[in-house]
Structure 1
């Protein structure tokens, strides 16, 4: 998994000389510092200030998750990449061009949804055609007429609802979703969506941290909603491409099964430890999947594509170059 390390078990993470040591059940597991850029704590993990200082010295990000596999928070070093000039321009862009960026993001979501569904249409799932047509024709015109971010969020919600409605045509019956339920998820498909979205959100936090953008100033989502609201913006167009593709392949190839890989309680459903390991491995493989970038004329990974979208936003903010988020159709 390269630069990302996942901790699935309860234990204690400490600094040991110039390395990291995870202690569980009386045994030590060492994590080399050289190639590690971020750590995911997917269980109860104890840390101390000595460790955090060490992580800060090495510009390493660490994400914490709660019992329900939801995001608790992120520690990242002081703003090493801060830029006062960009911060001022980012605020001005929010004031003057917020809707331009927000519309580009929502249109990008629709384009990537339709591309994902077109794969199934080509494989004889003709029932998805109505949704593809709506995403290509009616959805963009609705987005274009919006005058407030709240309208865009409503249209985006409608698009997701139609997208979810197609799952019954290409997923096994035990993975069909009646409605989207988040906190906590109530069935296997909701559990995977929540977990995958959170992983992608935190990947985006790490990507933005390594640019000069300010995480708090977003364009589609309200900045007051969450401290890292820009990560919500940037990650949106990648959800169909990274999260949902991962889910569909795991389910349709029977690598994840309801009776083996989920813990179902009275009012919630979560991936168990084995399920999380399988999902994380597939998610990381998807992040590292490469495609030929049509503008750069070279192969890039989806991990790099997230960072490139951050740079596109910076170009818009500083040079007024049109912001076009990642498109699965155009491979840019």
Structure 2
């Protein structure tokens, strides 16, 4: 079992990453502001234009520390990786399976089924705890979502699975505002949008999905799978399709619930976002740091994994799911068990 480590998030625009022996250094104007042993890290995520020394990049590659670069607004720019790891036979199996319509359809159904069940659980929770304030249409939406896993089992191909997933996502996000108990007007969502997000809720969700993507990509690479070759999401240059596949089952519990919690607890407010002239909504640095702190704390929380039956930190779930998928591809498991939130 992989030990839960930490991800270092660098948000200072003029910071420079270097190393001293086995230590990662953060420098600002040649002054060392932070030092941490590399063995305490599982990843480094840099927001904004942050330089990094070739020696530090080499150290990260040797120690298997994912080093990723994003723009200030959370758009992915690039990742530094070492030699391709893992069994070449595992990756060849992955590529063959990705080209097989029946296998792709079956795995896609697993990802989307878990996403729908977990999304329904998030909505059902607010109905249970705050039934007096939710919209009347929520109960109808929950009933429709409850029937969708059965429809998925009858889906004949990946396109049919994608169609059902799109219906479920529309239903889910059309009821998402019910989850917001305070600051309702400031964080209203009219629809799910991105590139750029045009409201505060979408800006927050997009940022959290970016963090989750980093975690899942690192997890897949750690077990020897190719993050870019998926089953539900089509191949596209630069797109981590397999990471996006596995993310589907984790988004509701990992990202969506955290976003709602941050708003309902007043940990973030409307003042922490800027609205640009073109309508794009940008998260300010102070809000971004608050979200990152909450994300790190969330990763430390424990849950009982539905397949393993063991308590593990949430931050290990992407690694467990990547390992289970790899074991299925090697023939050790008859089917892939997706993550269901209980």
Question: Structure 1-normalised TM-score?
Answer: 0.92
Match of 1:71 among 66, 70, 76: 76
Q: Pairwise mapping of residues 267-286 of structure 1 onto structure 2 (< 5 A)?
A: 267-286=279-298
Deviation at 1:52, TM superposition (A): 1.3
Tell which deviates more after alignment, 141-150 or 111-120.
141-150
- Quote the Cα distance in structure 1 between the aligned partners of 2:233 and 2:243: 9
Q: Pairwise mapping of residues 1-332 of structure 1 onto structure 2 (< 5 A)?
A: 2-10=5-13, 11-29=15-33, 30-79=35-84, 81-94=85-98, 95=100, 96-125=102-131, 127=135, 128-137=138-147, 139-171=148-180, 172-224=184-236, 226-259=238-271, 261-266=272-277, 267-319=279-331, 321-329=334-342
Deviation at 1:248, TM superposition (A): 0.6
Whether the 8 Å CA contact 2:119–2:252 is kept in 1: the answer is yes
Deviation at 1:42, TM superposition (A): 1.3
* CA displacement, residues 255-285 of structure 1 (integer Å, 9 cap, x when unaligned): 11002x1122122112111101111111122
- Quote the Cα distance in structure 1 between the aligned partners of 2:314 and 2:6: 14
Unpaired runs of 5+ residues, structure 2, are none
Tell which deviates more after alignment, 203-212 or 227-236.
227-236
The count of residues paired between Structure 1 and Structure 2 equals 326
Report SS of the residue matched to 1:174: coil
- Runs of 4+ aligned residues of structure 1 deviating over 6 Å after TM superposition are none
Report SS of the residue matched to 1:73: strand
Give the RMSD, CA atoms, in angstroms: 1.9
Whether the 8 Å CA contact 1:217–1:223 is kept in 2: the answer is yes
Tell which deviates more after alignment, 281-290 or 246-255.
281-290
Deviation at 1:292, TM superposition (A): 2.2
Deviation at 1:301, TM superposition (A): 1.8
The change in CA–CA distance for 1:226 and 1:26 in structure 2 (over 3 A counts) is closer
Whether the 8 Å CA contact 1:60–1:77 is kept in 2: the answer is no
Whether the 8 Å CA contact 1:315–1:321 is kept in 2: the answer is no
The change in CA–CA distance for 1:185 and 1:295 in structure 2 (over 3 A counts) is closer
* CA displacement, residues 19-73 of structure 1 (integer Å, 9 cap, x when unaligned): 2221124531223222112101012101232221122122211111113222222
